Structure 1
Amino acid sequence: MQMPSQQLLACACGQVRLTVTGSPIATVECCCDSCRRAGVQLQSRPGAPEVLGPHGETLFVMHRKDRVSIDAGHSLLSALRPWTQGGSRRVLARCCNTPLFLEFSGGHWLSLYGLLWPASARPAVEMRTMVGDLPDSSALPNDVPNLKTRSLCFYARLMKAWIAMGLRSPRIEIAGDPHG
């Protein structure tokens, strides 16, 4: 399916709105321990949507940071850091507890939660990563590659996007949360 050049996304209540331009770097279902633990925490918040799929996977649509704009509700963003180690933060809309994206410190991309897209416009999953972290990965369907960790192809896509951005890593400021 051809992706539109621009997509308008919003939290569940519509107060936080994003625009995504261009095609994603990749669309993945992550099965790592960190995403599964964070998914449980995120979806247990009042009014929050389901984050985890039936096998404990989290759907992410990865986009270059320079192709994602926060058009409304920036003051409603809140960073969640479920554990102190690691350089990642999950950002959600405080108004309705909708998870918006996962961001890595110094990263040039955002892993946008797939639940932001209506099912009819959601990019197709290309691969599952970190299936080696699952207690039983044999239950996963074989519809896309089920990668034990991350592949060279996965990292090559990230590198290609970073080069296209001039090796820049734009910052997203969130009140009360310094993030390098």
Structure 2
Amino acid sequence: MTKTIKLSCACGAVEMEADDPPIMSTECLCTSCRTAADVFEALPGAPRLREATGGIRTEMYRKDRVRCVKGADHLREHRLTAETKTRRVVATCCNTPIFLDFTNGHWIDLYGPLWPAGTLPPLQMRTMTGDMDDPSALPDDVPNLKTHSAGFFLRLILAWAAMGFRRPRADYVKGVLDVPA
């Protein structure tokens, strides 16, 4: 039986729904995710995005299982460069980071801080630890992968196959986040 998770930004103006289960529960330590976290956490009133490790916690979902049910007019995208296919989406009502979208992909990474305290699924792996100066400082509670593993890609491919190899679009994001250059 499908369970629908209801998530919202800090002020409640944006509401998202996701149909469980997620593809996987990860914490990314890549330079791009950490750079974007610096940008988002510097926005006025923004909640903290980074974990104690410096990584960014996400729940990976099939795009066909995620929808914005309220407040899409507050969603704005941010790209680290004009050429990147990866966009990160923020609710401008309260500067809450909402999700990361690989626009050419079939999945969305919903940011972990959206989950109410105590409800975030257990972390399964940390990825891209090779981008860190000292990955040896990470706890050994889950696999700390230098890059993305074969198992990581296998889960994504299996989810894509279950979707009939479609690539839905998260077309409810209509604007660009205004951040200092």
* Same fold (TM > 0.5): yes
Structure 2's unaligned 5+ residue stretches are: 177-181
Could you tell me which residue of structure 2 aligns to residue 7 of structure 1? Answer: 5
In structure 2, the partner of 1:116 is 114
Aligned mates of 1:51, 1:176 — CA distance in 2: 21
Shift of 1:84: 2.5
Query: 1:1-180 residue pairs with structure 2 within 5 A?
Result: 5-173=3-171, 174-176=173-175
**Offset, 1:176:** 3.8
Matched AA of 2:98: L
> Does the aligned pair in 1 maintain the 2:75–2:175 contact within 8 Å?
no
SS in 1 for 2:32: helix
Distance 2:83 2:53 in 1: 25
SS at match of 1:38: helix
SS in structure 1 at match of 2:6: strand
The TM-score normalised by the length of structure 2 is 0.93
Alignment length (residue pairs): 175
Distance 2:147 2:101 in 1: 19
2:103 and 2:169 in contact (8 A); partners too: no
Tell me which stretches of 4 or more aligned residues in structure 1 moved more than 4 Å: none
Query: Percent same amino acid at aligned positions?
Result: 48
